Structure 1
């Protein structure tokens, strides 16, 4: 609700604005209480009690109705997790072992810090034990990139040494990226609600939340395409004849996304523009060149080669998105 107040001048130099009585009573503010004024970059001011923050979302309940799919229930759980609830109680209309197994699986693979506090035939209580301030958003971004680059490094070794890649190993690392992505979104949401300060998760201004959410998504998609490349490598029948060019492309792409995230973290707009104007153009040209070459030399592998190079192209594009976000965040 918007409330209009007239600015008053006292003592010849001090501006005074009264605060609504209803809000003061709700926040237990009395004469002599301290409040904090946060001066925002857009010219606005945020006002909150110095010792009080919005209460964390303690608990919520999901009642599973007959006919609800496993997917819909799992999406509800994920949504509650992202919103910031500490306890999620899932109530089933009847005993359903398969449903519970699916929930346990998604918790294990996709969510950080979630434990099953209680379980019986009709309900399951999930407790989120992790505190969002334990891992700042910058560390989450770096860990997501590290996992993706480790997959690309394994692809490189598999190509150079004609080794096999274990799909199960790749899948487990994709789950790590998904966990970090969802955990990062939970952090951003909690910071927006004021449950913790933006500074505690490594941000400075509210508008940065949108930019960090975009970078989180870009890194999550880079992880997906790293998985796609690794799985496609398994299908190659003649790695030796293809290895040299794909290794070169892998190295160029990995260095590009690493430099892109570095530019974002350091707010280096000049580096971002250079990467966009020079490096990205060169890598795209190299992609086209090796696709033409390899598709002519290995026509029987053209479908797999197209898939691999296409995924490298998508990784490059997500890197350029990160660079454009770097420029945007600096211009606000």
Structure 2
């Protein structure tokens, strides 16, 4: 750390010299504008970025040694989440068909990326999304609505013996995933670009807070899928109305805990978040009753019931994690 003394000129202006190495590295000239931003911790950020333009970063992938579409897809998602604005997929030969299919699937799944250039041996993907147009809180609300209906419909599929509805729940999981990727990307970009955090009116701490919440909500969505995956196996078996009724009651309670956690988040209510966590004990009793019912049933239905009971319980526990996260965040305000 360099220590510089503050000078006073004209009796009212405070002046400090800037490191020569820093000036040269950024090619700053006389009369060039610099942005000054006071940080919450008392530090002062000095930046040559005064226009608020998005930081551009490029990531290149050579597919000459890649023959696994799933691996390539994970690489593309990873580059997207880490905040790269341009992703170039290239090959010394002609781009294989599976690569084009993978890239197309990626652009159709993630929010923002589009193919802007394509040749025989390269594909260029650019993120066209303006981060300011997708605030963190709105994305979190969208995630909540989607996963809530997923969970409700998974249980409704069991009650109404509707296999098609159960399958629809499974397909909706990609909608939750793509929103979670978006929040992960936005948070990484904000952590790298403080000027963007000012533009989005969110601190870097808040960006991390939203990221942690989105991860928890993604897992809630995963458990809705797990319930839906086990519903068709139970539809073919007669597990009894009493068991279905218990599952429905447990599901309702789990979703109530989740709704109360989200309400505490919106209202910034620490007491409500704390009170909500106490409801998890009651949910455990319901799930234990379902598990005991599973012991009385033979075959694969017993295993499916156990999976459903566990997923409902985990849904409530994750809702409790959100409430705890809300408390931790509000304590720091």
TM-score normalised over the length of structure 1: 0.86
Alignment CA distance shift 1:77-1:8 (3 Å) = same
Looking at structure 2, the residues matched to 156 and 166 of structure 1 have their Cα atoms a distance apart, in angstroms, of 10
Alignment CA distance shift 1:99-1:48 (3 Å) = closer
Looking at structure 2, the residues matched to 240 and 159 of structure 1 have their Cα atoms a distance apart, in angstroms, of 11
Contact kept? 2:173, 2:221, Cα under 8 Å: yes
- Mind listing any 5+ residue stretches in structure 1 that lack a counterpart? none
Between 211-220 and 266-275, the greater mean CA deviation after superposition: 266-275
Alignment CA distance shift 1:55-1:158 (3 Å) = closer
- Mind listing any 5+ residue stretches in structure 2 that lack a counterpart? none
1:291-302 alignment to 2 at 5 Å? 291-292=291-292, 294-295=293-294, 298-300=297-299, 301-302=301-302
Q: Report the aligned-residue RMSD.
A: 2.8
Looking at structure 2, the residues matched to 57 and 100 of structure 1 have their Cα atoms a distance apart, in angstroms, of 24
Aligned residue number for residue 288 of structure 2: 288
C-alpha distance after superposition, 1:171-228 (max 9, x if no partner): 331111111011111111121222753244452x222232221111111111111111
1:214-233 alignment to 2 at 5 Å? 214-233=212-231
C-alpha distance after superposition, 1:106-152 (max 9, x if no partner): 332x3112222233432222222222221111111111111111111
Contact kept? 2:157, 2:163, Cα under 8 Å: yes
SS in 2 for 1:43: coil
1:93-132 alignment to 2 at 5 Å? 93-95=92-94, 96-108=96-108, 110-132=109-131
1:271-286 alignment to 2 at 5 Å? 271-276=272-277, 278-286=278-286
Per the TM alignment, residue 168 of structure 1 is displaced from its structure 2 partner at its CA by 4.4
Contact kept? 2:258, 2:319, Cα under 8 Å: yes
1:253-268 alignment to 2 at 5 Å? 253-268=254-269
Aligned residue number for residue 19 of structure 2: 20
Aligned residue number for residue 152 of structure 1: 151
Alignment CA distance shift 1:7-1:266 (3 Å) = farther
Aligned residue number for residue 238 of structure 1: 238
TM-score normalised over the length of structure 2: 0.86
Aligned residue number for residue 210 of structure 1: 208
SS in 1 for 2:55: coil
Contact kept? 2:166, 2:231, Cα under 8 Å: no
Contact kept? 1:162, 1:239, Cα under 8 Å: no
1:34-73 alignment to 2 at 5 Å? 35-40=35-40, 42-49=41-48, 51-53=50-52, 56-67=55-66, 69-73=68-72
